[in-house]
């Protein structure tokens, strides 16, 4: 009898596990907003309420991080610079590294604290150092929003603390674009891929708030956020086999939900898409006659690094070349001289513009006179 009961229990366990795993894998994860974007092309693959104005919590720091990276790369500030903590920075609540007024710390260590541990005091202090004051840095954040062409973001602070603000918001799409801009700065990977680190000679431990860093293949960052107003948020970036994606999840009900949905989104991208480089046949680009110009012909130029995102089962890329037979001077640098249409699976997937790389003046009497003198 005992043997029979043991067999029944063993079989119950055996069949129970696949069912529970399947149920978990296919559970409906409720979030306020989400998006999956290809980092290489900016193409949106999946989205859910991606333009809705929401509190992004500490994912706000994406814009802070971008501005700090730009200040470092431009030489405005250096990683070795020592910065003294201000009362404004020290007074920030939430996640922090417990800076004391007057305490000096390098830009490198402060930035490490921001990216890895989401430290509000360190973020505020770096913002002050870059812009001169906390409020001036927030102005820089909103100005950068405009230069990126984003329409659904406005910041009131650099940290994302949202208990005392009324007009601080962003959306999944805007945050994905900001992340795309951040990943152009290779320096970020020195910090965003670190799981554990420390400050003050090992006295202050830094734990990455993104638990996928050491659990998801190819994870490269980037920023978590949590408040009672915003819920659980995450902007994640990952790269495999020379293709990169960014996902943004806002307003998840639990921390696990934001990580589970992030895995699901990124898995979908890697499983279904590939990145192809557009390969133009340079021998097919012919010179174009210039009528009435100081130069008799011009060869069109084009971007040689364009890439396209394609479904993995798509057909081979084909090209259709269209040129102007003749153009009339004057011609300005950047003027259109034709185009190359790119197709895959009988669908146009991209267009490469052919342009002039120089200014060409019209023939004038003075030009003709000079030519005559030179030929004498």
pLDDT at 17: 30
φ, ψ of residue 47 to 5 degrees: the values are -155, 150
**∠ CA 134-147-304 to the nearest 5 degrees?**
130
Q: Give the residue carrying structure tokens 């090992």.
A: 202
Task: Note whether 24 and 74 are within 8 A (CB).
Answer: no
pLDDT at 371: 62
Structural class in CATH, domain 282-366: mainly beta
Task: Note whether 124 and 156 are within 8 A (CB).
Answer: no
pLDDT average per 10 residues of sequence, the chain (376 residues): 41 33 57 97 97 98 98 98 98 95 98 98 98 98 98 98 93 98 98 97 96 97 97 98 97 97 98 91 85 87 86 90 88 91 89 90 67 65
Could you confirm whether 186 is annotated as catalytic? no
Domain 28-274 and domain 282-366, same fold? Reply is no
For domain 28-274, the CATH architecture is: 3-Layer(aba) Sandwich (3.40)
Number of Cβ within 10 Å of residue 196's Cβ equals 11
- Please tell me the distance from the alpha carbon of residue 83 to that of residue 63, in angstroms, as a whole number: 21
- DSSP for 231-247, please give it: EEEEEEEEEETTEEEEE
- Choose, from 33, 34, 55, 58, the residue flagged as catalytic: 58
Pairing status of strand 288-291 against strand 273-277: unpaired
pLDDT at 365: 57
Domain ranges within the chain, ordered by starting residue: 28-274, 282-366
pLDDT at 368: 59
Could you confirm whether 180 is annotated as catalytic? no
Could you confirm whether 118 is annotated as catalytic? yes
- Choose, from 33, 34, 118, 356, the residue flagged as catalytic: 118
pTM: 0.84
pLDDT at 12: 40
H helices of the chain, in order, are 2-25, 61-73, 87-90, 107-117, 120-131, 134-147, 172-182, 189-192, 255-272, 365-375
Half-sphere exposure at residue 160, Cβ-oriented, CA atoms within 13 angstroms: 34
- Choose, from 32, 61, 112, 339, the residue flagged as catalytic: 61
- Please tell me the distance from the alpha carbon of residue 179 to that of residue 176, in angstroms, as a whole number: 5
How far out from the chain centre does Cα 3 lie? 59
């Amino acid at each position: 009898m005992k043997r029979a009961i043991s067999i029944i229990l063993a079989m119950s366990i055996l069949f129970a596990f696949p069912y529970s795993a399947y149920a978990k894998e296919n559970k409906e994860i409720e979030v306020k907003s989400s998006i999956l974007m290809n980092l290489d092309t900016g193409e949106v693959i999946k989205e859910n309420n991606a333009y809705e104005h929401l509190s992004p919590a500490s994912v706000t720091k994406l814009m802070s991080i971008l501005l700090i990276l730009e200040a470092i790369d431009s030489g405005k500030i250096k990683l070795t610079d020592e910065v003294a903590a201000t009362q404004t920075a020290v007074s920030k609540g939430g996640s922090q590294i417990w800076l004391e007024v007057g305490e000096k710390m390098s830009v490198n260590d402060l930035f490490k604290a921001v990216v890895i541990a989401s430290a509000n005091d360190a973020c505020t202090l770096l913002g002050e150092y870059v812009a001169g004051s906390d409020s001036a840095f927030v102005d820089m954040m909103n100005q950068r929003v405009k230069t990126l062409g984003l329409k659904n973001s406005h910041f009131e602070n650099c940290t994302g603390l949202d208990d005392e603000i009324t007009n601080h918001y962003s959306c999944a799409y805007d945050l994905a674009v900001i992340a795309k801009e951040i990943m152009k700065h290779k320096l970020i990977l020195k910090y965003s891929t670190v799981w554990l680190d420390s400050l003050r000679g090992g006295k202050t431990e830094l734990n990455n708030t993104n638990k996928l860093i050491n659990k998801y293949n190819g994870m490269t960052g980037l920023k978590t956020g949590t408040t009672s107003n915003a819920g659980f948020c995450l902007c994640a970036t990952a790269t495999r086999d020379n293709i990169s994606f960014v996902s943004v999840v806002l307003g998840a009900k639990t921390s696990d939900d934001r990580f589970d949905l992030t895995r699901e989104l990124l898995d979908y991208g890697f499983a279904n898409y590939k990145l192809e480089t557009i390969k133009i046949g340079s021998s097919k680009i012919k010179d174009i006659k210039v009528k009435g110009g100081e130069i008799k012909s011009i060869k069109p130029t084009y971007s040689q690094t364009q890439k396209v995102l394609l479904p993995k089962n798509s057909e081979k890329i084909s090209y259709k070349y269209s040129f102007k037979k003749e153009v009339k001077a004057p011609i300005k640098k950047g003027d259109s001289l034709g185009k190359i249409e790119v197709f895959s699976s009988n669908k146009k997937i991209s267009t490469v513009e052919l342009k002039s790389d120089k200014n060409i003046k019209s023939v004038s009497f003075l030009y003709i006179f000079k030519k005559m003198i030179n030929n004498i």
